[in-house]
Amino acid sequence: MSGRLVVCPTPIGNLEDVTLRVLAALREADVVACEDTRRTRVLLDRYGVKARLVSYHEHNERARAGELVDRMRDGSTVALVSDAGMPLVSDPGYLLVRACVAAGLPVEVLPGPSAAITALVASGLPAAEWRFQGFLPRKRGELEAVLREPGGTLVAFESPRRVPATLAVVAALDPERGVAVCRELTKAHEEVVRGSAAELAERYAGDPPRGEVVLVLGPTESGEREGEDAAALDALRRLVEAGAKPRAAAGVVAELTGGSANALYRALTSGD
């Protein structure tokens, strides 16, 4: 009988954030695959979980994935954890999940802690549309390209020593862009500092934050404008569908939104 893979998110700081389902899965697993067996053992010892651990990290995941799939084919249940948070999200695990899918083995993903989600909510920045970058690129040109991309709020991991330089680039591109520096989330020294890019660039210049950092950047000005334009065009379409004359309706919507009546009319007719 085939086994299965259970993906188990672990606390990002406070060990009390582990879920009951994760603890049950770790107790029931035949083997627990983890980035650092020492860190995982601290969590397991806290809750009296006795489990067989094997290392699974970026340097051995390709070979180890094959071994674990063979175990599951023989009926074993494998629990996958990372050092903190959800496996695969800037952590190892993708190759193992893909191998299980290819082998037709069940993959169960348990909900739990995530530094990206925690920081997004704590930032106070728009959360209706957002994207996760992982670690930001180091080369300035590549960093600027990422920062200019539209698509809502940007959540990214950053090395604390690089925070001042990164914020300086953000401020140079858009000094009024909303930013939150989220540090040591769920830990004793948790701190969330919010402000404009210019304000936070000045605050951290020459004084990098300590600990693990998640940066949250509000939507770019162009991204906000695109969203407003889309809403205005949608309103115009609804007015026209209700019987309004296109040019007159475009003038009304433009007056209410501060946009261009001609641009709205062209967008409406080009989509017909």
pTM of the model: 0.77
Range 205-210, long-range pairs (CB < 8 A, 24+ positions):
205/164, 205/168, 206/164, 207/164, 208/160, 208/161, 208/162, 208/163, 208/164, 209/160, 209/163, 209/181, 209/183, 210/160, 210/183, 210/184
| Structure confidence at residue 1 (pLDDT) | 58
Q: Which helix (H) or strand (E) holds 257?
A: helix 246-257
Q: Could you tell me the sign of the dihedral formed by the alpha carbons of 179, 184, 187, 188, in that order? A: negative
User: How far is residue 262's CA from residue 265's CA, in Å, rounded to a whole number?
Assistant: 5
For tokens 């709020």, name the residue.
153
Query: 3-state DSSP call for residue 37?
Result: helix
- Structure-block tokens of residue 256: 């209410």
Count of Cβ atoms closer than 10 Å to residue 110 Cβ: 15
- Structure-block tokens of residue 252: 């009304």
User: How far is residue 170's CA from residue 148's CA, in Å, rounded to a whole number?
Assistant: 9
According to DSSP, residue 160 is labeled: G
| Structure confidence at residue 105 (pLDDT) | 97
Average pLDDT of the residues in 210-234: 78
| Structure confidence at residue 266 (pLDDT) | 83
CB 16 within 8 A of CB 189: no
Tell which residue, 216, 6, 220, has the closest CA to residue 115: 216
Q: Give the tens place of pLDDT for each residue, 250-267.
A: 888 888 887 788 888 888
Q: Give the tens place of pLDDT for each residue, 166-196.
A: 999 999 999 999 999 999 999 999 999 999 9
Pairing of strands 77-80, 107-109: unpaired
Tell which residue, 183, 149, 190, has the closest CA to residue 163: 183
Residue 225 pLDDT class (50, 70, 90 cuts) = low
Q: Give the tens place of pLDDT for each residue, 113-169.
A: 999 999 999 999 999 999 999 999 999 999 999 999 988 999 999 999 999 999 999
